[in-house]
Structure 1
Amino acid sequence: MMNKRKVTAIMISATLASVTLAGNVMAQNEYPTIDFNNTTVYGDVGPDGSVPGGLEDVQLTDEEIQQVKDGNFKVAICYHQLDNQVNQSKLSACQEVLEELGIEVVAVTDAQSDAVKEVDQLETALALNPDALLSMPYDVEVTKAAYQKYIDAEIPVVFMENASADFTAGEDYVAVTNSDSYGNGMFAAMLLAESIGYEGKVAMVYYDADFFTTNERDRGFRETIEKYYPDIEIVAESGFTSIDVVGTVADGLFAQYPDIDGVYASWDIPATSVITSARAIGREDLKVTGVDLGDDSTYMIADQDMYVGASCPKAVETGKIEGYALACALIGKEIPTYLCSSVQPVSYDNVLEAYKSCFGIDAPDAVKEAWEAHQ
């Protein structure tokens, strides 16, 4: 039987494909509708080529729950970074699941975006003899040998977002968990298209690395613009390999295309750098979208600033998937090798509700005040 997520995506694609063009002009009410109550996963493939599963695929029976509790298991959680709300909310949701199942967390580490530091932390956590590991590799090559030690010790590993291509899904590691990266890029494209009136010139400022999550976001953006917005042209794809150079990349983009209408960025932090560059040349009218909600980007959406919208991972849902995936791994329950949560499109109208939905907490007071100022 076909995966129900895939069936839904096929039905939606068929509906969009049936839209007809007249003189290369599409009526506004015929453009794809942005579903602000989205529960669909649009990405059709994981980093290992498998069809995505979801929270429903890692649920436990009462008997399995008791088996987990009786195991007196302990796990380690090693993050690449914990300085953003997405990861903090994911961690909290995961820990709640583990606590409910009686699984002890013996280590939670934060590598602060330093792959060498993450290697040290992985090795320290390994010395605590965990029964399973949940981790996000900051650099798959630098960290590969450290993860290999867990594999050699036959400790189940659940990866977040990415895994080395040298590791085999279902054999060397249990699964990769993620939010719907393709859907994130797709909704960012829809929000940008709507903000510029479905016509004009846009650019992509993207993370130029072999990294599944951002590669899929970018693919989702690119394909959505090309398929459904005939009067929007992607005039440039400007890559960066470090956050530190995004401003320079954006300066070059605006020098070549000073009248560009909109920009998509792979996530919200580089989007902020793009906006800073645009302000420096007086382009306050530029429209920008991206992925993720940090406090700065959420504030800009609430304040109806240049960052007009975003697509955000449902961090609470993803964290629950990670917790249950660990539990399944501990008792040897077979699960899909790619597990994915749906994502949340965000605009001014729903920013406060979206923040609560994605992160499980209320938006900061400053965000609420900015939003209320435009009522």
Structure 2
Amino acid sequence: MASIKDIAKMAGVSTATVSHVINKTRYVSPELVEKVEQAIKNADSPPKFVVRRQKKIRENIHQSQNGVLLYICQYEEDNYAGGVWSKLKPIMESKGYTMIRCNCNSDLEFGLVDKLLSDHVEIIGMFVSARTDEFYIQKIVRTTNIPCVVIGNEVDDVAFDRVSTDIYKAAYDCTMHFIRSGHDKIAILMGDLLKSYNNEVIRGYENALEYGGVKFKNRYILHKDSEEKKISDMLSELLDGNDNPSALLIADSEHIYRVYRYMMKRNIRCPKDLSIMCIGNEGSAPYLNPALSMAENNFEYIAEKAMDLMLDRIKELSEKDKYEAVLKKTSKILVSPKIIIRDSITGTARGPFGEKGADINMLSLTEKEMDICRMKRYTAVIVYHYIGASFMKLHEQGVRDVFDRIGITVIAVMGCQMDFSMQKKQIESLLMLEPDIMIAFPVNHTLTQEVFEEVIRTKTRLIFMGHVPDRFEGSGYVSCINVNERSNGRNIGRGLGDYLLLNHKKNIGIIRYGHQFYTTNQRDLAVEQILREEYPELRICATEVFSKDEYDKTKELLMWHPEIDGIYVSWEGPAVKVLEALHDINREDIAVATSDLDFSVALDMAKGGCIKVLSAQQPFEEGQAAALCAANDLLGKTVPSFIAVEPVFITIENLIKSWNTIYKTKAPKEIVQALQENEQFMSE
């Protein structure tokens, strides 16, 4: 039988190194560990010192009838350790084990833990979860002779099984969420860079930037690696420059409150001025103002995996006489975090050429500037892609609301009912009036290029609504006005996801617009992003692309996927056709989510029909924005090239209030009556 000296000679190491590998009394490099393990396996028979250790552990396990497991953490108030404990304790106790939680952060606490381990043979295993890999934790972990599972990222000891959050994926997913939400200036705040897991954080962050095509900037990397360095000073240096980030990823939840306090004192609005996400768990995250978005540790799954590793190790050490059980390679399990999106993030609106959307509040006029406009007696024309719909009426009211106050006269309003040739003739005739301002909804990206190029060759200031024709490349016109389509899509996606989860449903169908129309395409992508990233429990079964055949597309979708519980449709016009198809095939059990509010979809929602979720533009405010852009430009002021107006999120609970907000009038009596007759709504 080989002795410890024989094994040391075979492995080419000292006897002390062999002892440390077997008894786990000190860190040994993976290369030397592998040499010692291989030498033991190559021995003719199991060495005595291995057999003795196996026997001792097995005796301890057999002597314990119920089995006691220690859960060692560093601080009583540690959110991470507490979150794991709340899930681990009940599942281990359901297996017949007794769980004891101990802190180990001082000489006294270390002495108590050490005494427990030495005096009680019934303690047959140990879990260790700590915020830092400090002296007392190291001493406990590296001197134990019982099965040990390390939980978390901080205690990084290769000699033991380990379960932790995939910190690389957490940083990558958070950064990608910012990028997909329109942010291209993303900062990150970390703790001590000497900690190994922060290397994974920065790697995930950098790889996401590279994949998303966003430039890496050193000044956006903040790390608090000393007590002297104040969070407030770091943030001031970051946010007081000319190239301020629009998003901040906090990689250590300990810094959350300091960041919030700093923003509150400096009147930095979250998420309007700065969107925030955090990696880790913070018990108060939903209750902060605004509620904090997070890559949240999946404590339940972490606890389950830690239990599996512990039970496997106990079983091997108690049932097998094979020394390989002692030397079995350790397991490292990485658990993906769950992305939880709350109010601390907003989608950054992007214009047709990627420009960041500005706020309507930037367009205000002084009394003196209004007087100048009145004296100049400017004129304006409005060109709609179709006319007669409530949206266009409200938009025109918004334009006139501003122009009437500053003395600009609207001399013509025309609509072409989506007919390009008609719009071309209308614009040519309107140019003969030599207006100072033209507010226009182009029918098409490509077909309208030439006629609008005619406009910019005149003195007429051109403001686009919704989108910009090709070849303009952000020049030749004053500005483009639209709803914040990222917010629009987020509202719809989150509303549909919440509704399906609340009603224990999960299958989704998407019916989206089939042409290149950047506003609608941006909204469609935002809906799908929200559903995929924030609702992993849900499943997108299929997508249908429509042009003018949404009725048939709905029937086709449900013929192949009858399991669908909810449908997203790009806007309310096609959604009405979807409702007709659902009625005809007797599938009015399906929830429908779409954008914009008109009478038909509002009435369906009020009756308790298929329409469950809406996100609506504010056409009156968009009209005001267009008029203010025109006035600012005529006054010689700099005007942002893209203005984004926030949408309104609508469910049956706020339907009447939302109607008042958007239409500036009371809801029609038919809608009010339908709500009153909706027994399910009235009973809630």
Fold equivalence (TM over 0.5): yes
* Structure 1 CA distance for aligned equivalents of residues 269 and 453 of structure 2: 33
Structure 1 stretches lacking a partner, 5+ long: 25-29
Contact 2:349–2:485 under 8 Å retained in 1: no
Report SS of the residue matched to 1:196.
helix
Q: Secondary structure at the match of 1:8?
A: coil
Which whole-Å CA distance do the structure 1 matches of 2:274 and 2:293 have between them?
10
Q: Which amino acid aligns with 1:151?
A: I
Counterpart residue number, 2:577: 273
Note the aligned Cα RMSD (angstroms): 2.2
CA distance, structure 2, for counterparts of residue 238 and residue 341 of structure 1: 29
Q: Measure, in 2, the Cα distance between the counterparts of 1:126 and 1:63.
A: 30
Deviation sequence 1:58-82 (CA, Å, 0-9, x none): 1112222222122111011101122
Quote the residue 2:44 is aligned against. none
> In the alignment, which of 2, 5, 8 is matched to residue 272 of structure 2?
8
Q: Quick one: distance in 1 between partners of 2:411 and 2:436?
A: 10
1:313 alignment partner in structure 2 = 617
Partner of 1:167 in structure 2? 472
C-alpha distance in structure 2 between counterparts of 1:156 and 1:5, whole Å: 34
Distance in 1 between residues matched to 2:604 and 2:634, nearest whole Å: 43
Alignment of 1:213-232 (within 5 A): 213-232=519-538
Question: What is the aligned counterpart of 1:108 among 413, 417, 421?
Answer: 413
Aligned length: 363
- Whether contact under 8 Å (2:465, 2:482) holds in the other structure is yes
- Which residue identity is paired with 1:93? G
Mapped partners of 2:545, 2:426: distance in 1: 31
How far has the Cα of 1:19 moved from its partner?
A: 3.6
Q: Is the 8 A contact 1:41 1:343 kept in 2?
A: no
Q: 1:133: which partner in 2?
A: 438
| Residues 294, 341 of structure 2: 8 Å contact kept | no
Distance in 1 (CA, whole Å) between partners of 2:403 and 2:517 is 28
Kindly tell me: are residues 277 and 20 of structure 1, through their superposed partners in 2, closer, same or farther at Cα, counting changes over 3 Å? farther
Residue 365 of structure 1: CA displacement? 1.4
Q: 2-side partners of 1:82 and 1:182: how far apart? A: 26
2:655 & 2:603 partners in 1: Cα distance? 9
Residue 188 of structure 1 and its aligned partner are, at CA, apart by 0.8
Deviations 1:190-249 (A, max 9, x none): 11112212651101101111111101110110111111101111121211122xx11111
Moved more, 126-135 or 45-54: 45-54
**Residue 493 of structure 2 corresponds to which residue in structure 1?**
189
Partner of 1:83, secondary structure, is: coil
1:304 aligns with 2:581: no
Aligned residue in 1 for 2:482: 178
Q: Distance in 1 between matches of 2:277 and 2:460?
A: 40
* Structure 1 residue aligned with 2:539: 233
1:17 counterpart residue number: 294
Cα distance in structure 1, aligned partners of 2:508 and 2:581: 16
The match for 2:231 is none
Give how far 1:6 is off: 8.5
1:263 corresponds, among 567, 573, 591, to 567
Q: Measure the CA separation in 1 of the matches of 2:269 and 2:582.
A: 39
- Give the conservation status (yes or no) of the 8 Å contact 1:185–1:290: no
Rate the CA distance shift 1:41–1:227 in 2: closer, same or farther, 3 A. closer
Q: How does 1:1-375 map to 2 (within 5 A)?
A: 2=244, 7-8=271-272, 10-11=274-275, 15-21=292-298, 22-23=300-301, 32=341, 42-169=347-474, 171-197=475-501, 199-242=505-548, 245-374=549-678, 375=682
TM (norm. structure 2) is 0.51
| Aligned-partner Cα distance in 1 for 2:449–2:270 | 32
Aligned match of 1:27: none
Shift in Å, 1:31: 5.9
Pair 270,155 (structure 1): closer, same or farther in 2 beyond 3 Å: same
For each residue in 1:307-349, what CA deviation from the matched residue of structure 2 results, as whole angstroms up to 9, or x when unmatched?
Answer: 1120001222212111111111222211110001111000000
**What displacement does 1:12 show?**
5.4
Secondary structure (helix, strand or coil) at the match of 2:638 reads coil
CA distance in 1, matches of 2:445, 2:428: 15
CA contact 1:41–1:340 (8 Å) conserved in 2: no
The structural deviation recorded for 1:110 is: 1.3
Residues 13 and 252 (structure 1), Cα distance of their counterparts in 2 relative to 1, 3 Å cut: farther
Matched residues in 2 for 1:249 and 1:9: separation? 41
Question: Contact 1:157/1:174 (CA < 8 Å) preserved in 2?
Answer: yes
Change over 3 Å in CA distance of 1:5–1:280 after alignment to 2: farther
Displacement of 1:43: 3.3
Q: Give 5+ residue unaligned stretches, structure 2.
A: 1-241, 247-267, 279-291, 303-338
Q: Deviations over 1:73-109 (max 9, x none)?
A: 1011101122322221111011111011100111111
- SS of 1:53's equivalent? coil
Structure 2 CA distance, aligned partners of 1:49 and 1:286? 36
The one-character-per-residue Cα deviations of 1:29-59 (angstroms, maximum 9, x if unpaired) are x9656x8xx9x96233211211111211111
Is the Cα–Cα contact under 8 Å of residues 590 and 610 in structure 2 kept in the other structure? yes
User: Is 120-129 or 79-88 further displaced after alignment?
Assistant: 79-88
Does the CA-based 8 Å contact 1:6-1:44 persist in structure 2?
no
Q: CA deviation at 1:163?
A: 0.4
Q: 2:464, 2:480 within 8 Å by CA — same for their partners in 1? A: yes
Cα–Cα, structure 1 residues 11 and 41, in superposed 2: closer, same or farther, change >3 Å?
closer
Report if aligned partners of 2:349, 2:484 keep a CA contact under 8 Å in 1: no
1:312 alignment partner AA: A
Structure-2 separation of matches of 1:45 and 1:256: 36
TM norm structure 1 = 0.91
When residues 52 and 292 of structure 1 are mapped into structure 2, their CA distance, relative to the original with a 3 A threshold, is: same
Secondary structure in structure 1 of the residue aligned to 2:589:
coil
The amino acid that maps onto 1:267 is W
Q: Give secondary structure in 2 for the equivalent of 1:333.
A: coil
Deviation at 1:252, TM superposition (A): 1.0
Distance 2:410 2:492 in 1: 36
CA distance in 1, matches of 2:595, 2:349: 19
The 1:70–1:348 alpha-carbon spacing in structure 2 relative to 1, beyond 3 Å, is same
